[in-house]
Amino acid sequence: MSHNLTRVKRVHNPKYQPSGLKSYVFLLNKYNFGPTKPGPYFQGGKVQQKGKHGLGRLFGGKAQVQKVLQKRNTTDGQPGDVPAEDQQNDSQYLCTVTVGTPPQTFKLDFDTGSADLWVWSTELPKSTNTSGHNVFDPKKSSTFKKTVGSSWKISYGDGSNASGDVGTDNVDVGGLVIQKQSIELAKTLSAQFSSGVGDGLLGLAFGSINTVAPKPVATPVENMIAQTDIPKISELFTAYLGSYKDKNDPDHGASFYTFGYLDEKALNGQTPYYTPIDNSKGFWQFNSTTASVGSKKIQRAGNTAIADTGTTLALVDDSLCKAIYDAIPGAKYDDQQQGYLIPSNITVDQLPVVSFDVGGKEFAVQKEDLTFADAGDGFTYGGIQSRGDLPFDILGDTWLKGIYAIFDQGNKRFGAVVRDDPTQDPSVPASQ
């Protein structure tokens, strides 16, 4: 079988406004963990009549006490709901994918931390503001077939959700066409899901955490493998995540995914380092038992981490967080921002080299990615923050930008090589 394999470019979203706290609140929702550092957001309990799968405990009858993300009122300290505008609901980078016959084009967030492929659809209520979005119309695709009796629902820790029906159709990812791929059509979108410019999401985690009921469906990569759309010897995809800060580097900030092959230019003559993954929770999870901050080596016995392209920050345990920011002159923790801040006038030589272990070998965060977004008053929100009560690290774009990441699904392993970015710029744009 011939394979038409090309790069799938990540396109920067010009409307994206980076916000440290909003990005952190998004992660509190996505992974439903409790903060362990002080701030306005916390995990409270609410009694609800109809619970969500896997959350809370029975509290008589059909009621459940569920863990719900809440926000303290700034005036009286009383708990309340988290407004949609308090979290980052937009994607910094999006990839173009087409669905159906003839093809309908969508800009999707590629996310190794989830396993659903969902799109905006004509099944949304007429009152939905679809301005600026590409909306899938199944009636205009001759290859679409509805999956009778199936539905999907993604729920976050604040009660926000997206849900709808399911069908199958042809999906084109960078010229590679997946036949009869399950597509999840949005029928309802709460504000947290509808306020960004993206048209949906393409999950690259494992199908065991797909939300389609009564039976989860295969992910695009699982179908690429089953349909031999990608070579048997390369049942993998890769992520090369660039940045606007890299425009003066040799790769000029190139940003892309590949499916079914390793990009030789991205490898840059290096041999990938691989480590086995544990996908029992559906994630790209591996052992990460050490870290380094400057010349200080930190032992983290039993620790694991997941690689998540759908996360802008990196989240680690509180003791490691403290060690990192203790090594940065003038850095501090801010209760109102619920995160660590770095002086905006910090220079590259003042920043330590911070590295995380990948199954026996450490890979560093680029110094320029230790700073994430303007926090006001002469400070910048740090790219590494607390993982709260989560039992594992989340290594998002902050860390992934420093490597060429290889997600080898066929061999159940994660690989990496160091990305060549000689120019480092820790400055961030001022908030608009």
Query: Per-residue pLDDT for 394 more than 70?
Result: yes
Mean pLDDT of 208-223: 96
Model confidence at 421, in pLDDT bands (50, 70, 90)?
Answer: confident
Cα(286)–Cα(298) distance, integer angstroms? 17
pTM listed for this prediction: 0.92
The whole-number pLDDT of residue 58 equals: 32
Query: Per-residue pLDDT for 268 more than 80?
Result: yes
Mean pLDDT of 317-339: 97
* pLDDT tens digits, 337-385: 999 999 999 999 999 999 999 999 999 999 999 999 999 999 999 999 9
Model confidence at 56, in pLDDT bands (50, 70, 90)?
Answer: very low
Cα(127)–Cα(62) distance, integer angstroms? 32
Model confidence at 425, in pLDDT bands (50, 70, 90)?
Answer: confident
- DSSP code for 25: H
The whole-number pLDDT of residue 243 equals: 82
* pLDDT tens digits, 185-213: 999 998 777 777 789 999 999 999 999 99
The whole-number pLDDT of residue 1 equals: 44
Mean pLDDT of 415-431: 86
The whole-number pLDDT of residue 135 equals: 97
Query: Which of 86, 90, 109, 111 is an active site residue?
Result: 111
Model confidence at 177, in pLDDT bands (50, 70, 90)?
Answer: very high
Query: Per-residue pLDDT for 64 more than 60?
Result: no
Cβ contact 286:358 at 8 Å? yes
Query: Which of 90, 109, 308, 393 is an active site residue?
Result: 308
Reduced to 3 states, what is the DSSP secondary structure of residue 12?
Answer: strand
Higher pLDDT, 129 or 247: 129
The chain-wide mean pLDDT, for the chain, equals 89
Cβ contact 148:82 at 8 Å? no
Please state which of the ranges 51-55, 213-217, 259-263, 411-415 shows the lowest mean pLDDT.
51-55
From the DSSP assignment, how many helices (H) and strands (E) are in the chain? Answer: 6, 30
Cα(204)–Cα(197) distance, integer angstroms? 20
The whole-number pLDDT of residue 156 equals: 74
Query: Per-residue pLDDT for 332 more than 70?
Result: yes
Cα(62)–Cα(116) distance, integer angstroms? 28
Higher pLDDT, 59 or 419: 419
Active site residue 278: no
- Ranked by mean pLDDT, the top range of 149-158, 403-412, 421-430 is 403-412
Model confidence at 137, in pLDDT bands (50, 70, 90)?
Answer: very high
The whole-number pLDDT of residue 30 equals: 87
Query: Per-residue pLDDT for 57 more than 70?
Result: no
Active site residue 420: no
Radius of gyration of the chain (CA): 21
* pLDDT tens digits, 236-256: 999 999 887 787 788 888 899
Query: Per-residue pLDDT for 321 more than 50?
Result: yes
Please state which of the ranges 70-84, 187-201, 374-388, 415-429 shows the lowest mean pLDDT.
70-84
Mean pLDDT of 159-184: 93
Residue 314's alpha-carbon distances to 163, 338, 385, 396, 399, in angstroms, are 28, 15, 6, 5, 7
Residue 362's alpha-carbon distances to 290, 305, 320, 401, in angstroms, are 8, 12, 15, 14
Model confidence at 54, in pLDDT bands (50, 70, 90)?
Answer: very low
Cβ contact 339:381 at 8 Å? yes
Other Cβ atoms less than 10 A from the Cβ of 390: the count is 19
The whole-number pLDDT of residue 430 equals: 74
